[in-house]
Amino acid sequence: MTIIGCDLHTRYQVVAWIDEETGEIRSRRLEHENGEARAFYASLPRGARVGIEATFPALWFERLLAECGHELWVGDAARIRASEVRQQKTDARDAEHILDLLRTDRFPRIWVPSVAERDVRQLLVHRMKLVRARTTVKNQLHAQAMSQGVCRKHKLWTVKGRAELEGLALLPWASRRRKELLEMLDQLDAAIEPLDQAVKQEAQARPEAVRLMTHPGVGPVTALGFVLTLGPVERFRNRRKLVSYLGLNPREHSSGGRQRLGAISKQGNSMMRWLLVEAAQTAARYDPELRRAYQRLKFRRVSGVAKVAIARRLAVRLYWMLRARVDYAQLVRMSGSPSSAVVPQEKGSKV
Q: How do residues 37-89 score in pLDDT, each as one tens digit?
A: 999 999 999 999 999 999 888 899 999 999 999 999 999 998 999 998 888 88
Q: Which amino acid makes up residue 275? A: L
CA–CA distance, 332 with 344 (Å, rounded to integer):
11
pLDDT of residue 37: 96
End-to-end CA distance of the chain: 48
Q: Which residues pair with 258 in a beta bridge?
A: 255
Query: What is the chain's Cα-based Rg?
Result: 25
Least confident of 125-139, 150-164, 200-214, 324-338: 324-338
Q: Note the pLDDT tens digit of each residue in 78-125.
A: 899 999 888 888 999 999 999 999 999 999 999 999 999 999 999 999
Contact 328, 348 (CB under 8 A): no
**Cβ contacts of residue 107 below 8 Å, gap of 6+?**
51, 73, 75, 80, 98, 101
The per-residue DSSP string of 212-278 comes to HTTSTT--HHHHHHHHHHH-SGGG-SSHHHHHHHHT-SEEE--BTTB--EEEE---S-HHHHHHHHH
The band of 335, judged by pLDDT with boundaries at 50, 70 and 90, is: low
The band of 336, judged by pLDDT with boundaries at 50, 70 and 90, is: low
Residue 344 has pLDDT above 50, yes or no: no
DSSP 109: B
pLDDT of residue 182: 97
pLDDT of residue 349: 56
Contact 234, 322 (CB under 8 A): no
The band of 337, judged by pLDDT with boundaries at 50, 70 and 90, is: very low
290: closest CA among 239, 215, 220, 234?
215
